[in-house]
Amino acid sequence: MYVLELAGQDDEFAAYEAEHAASDISRLAPGLVTARGISDRFEQLAFTHRASELIGRGVPTVADAQAILSTATLDREGSVAVRAVDVRSTTGIDTQAVERALGSELVERGFEIDLDDPDHELRALFSGGENGTCALGWLVAETERGFGDRKPTDRPFFQPGSMDPMLARALANIAGARPGATVLDPMCGTAGILIEAGLAGADVIGVDVQEKMVRGSRENLAAAVDEGFEVIRGDAGRLPLREDAVDTAVFDAPYGRQSKIEGDLGELVYDALCEARRVASRCVVVGDKPWAQPAHNAGWTTEAVFDRRVHRSLTRYIVVLRD
């Protein structure tokens, strides 16, 4: 059993993304979930920080943490470090006191403490709220956190309104981006989602109706991934692709008032959803409104819906679809 430390504040969305790289996810406490197992795709997750092999859990107190450790079978050799975390500052626990207490217990049991370069890291996670808990575990995996190094403004081609790379990676993961998969974005814009899907190991195909976006997406992808990408000028409602050409589609639909798309936006998105279903068996669509009903009309089945508030005047709705 593992305990996973979630990122952000939306545990439901983070846990859903984690399900694509871990098995039997179960909510534990704010910011924490448990998992029966983790896959080699774990390090690609956006809204999970770490996974630790669970030793035990109890109430969020120093005494309970000590009791858990004192009765645990410790199957590790070598030096250790203890890291205590007050998850989202929900318990007010004295993390230094926790680290001293657990460190003393480990020394008594024959371990050497090495804070700089330990062979193993014991994580003591304290989370409050109604289901407050203390969870102890050995750190086994951390996710790649280079999203801040891939700011949209630093790409060769930038347009205002580009999606944050962390959310783009989560959408790619939820869509099914992984080695051996082909991911389509039929409204690729500046290729933000495709970059993250490509970095997760998938082959990617972008389509956009505007030639400048096609050129810009090619530049951005070439700067981010070595190979495995193609960008085509075309209409999302009439894709230049054969049936079942890709494994999954994911796209950020134009937003009502901000959109420069001519014609009826609802019809455009419906046509794109119809075409996505023709070429893929899974789809994730994002927009400033939930597109679940047009997706249903296009023949999709809704698997999940999330809403994420961006600012006062914008909420992003994420709809996950399957054939």
Q: Return all residues near 72 (Cβ < 8 A) that are at least 6 apart.
A: 55, 56, 136
Question: Which pLDDT belongs to residue 264?
Answer: 78
Q: What are phi and psi of 143, to 5 degrees?
A: -85, 155
Please tell me the number of Cα atoms within 13 Å of 148 on its side-chain side: 1
Q: Check residue 235 and report its DSSP letter.
A: B
* CB < 8 Å & 24+ apart, contacts of 85-88: 85/5, 85/123, 85/124, 85/125, 85/126, 86/126, 87/5, 87/29, 87/30, 87/31, 87/32, 87/125, 87/126, 87/127, 87/128, 88/9, 88/30, 88/31, 88/127
CATH 3.30.2130.30 maps onto the chain at: 2-142
- Average pLDDT of the residues in 73-97: 95
CATH number of the structural domain 146-322: 3.40.50.150
Question: Which pLDDT belongs to residue 86?
Answer: 98
Token digits of residue 35: 């998992």
pLDDT digit string (tens) for 190-212? 999 999 999 999 999 999 999 99
Give the whole-angstrom CA distance, residue 49 versus residue 45.
8
pTM: 0.93
**Alpha helices of 176-252 — where are they, by DSSP H?**
192-199, 211-224
Residue type, 105: E
Q: Return all residues near 302 (Cβ < 8 A) that are at least 6 apart.
A: 292, 295, 296, 319, 320, 321
Residue type, 4: L
For residues 135, 137, 140, 146, the Cα torsion angle rounded to the nearest 10 degrees is 40
CATH 3.40.50.150 maps onto the chain at: 146-322
pLDDT digit string (tens) for 243-286? 999 999 999 998 864 444 444 778 999 999 999 999 999 999 99
Q: Confirm or reject CATH 3.30.2130.30 for domain 2-142, answering yes or no.
A: yes
Question: Which pLDDT belongs to residue 261?
Answer: 46
pLDDT digit string (tens) for 97-109? 999 999 999 999 9
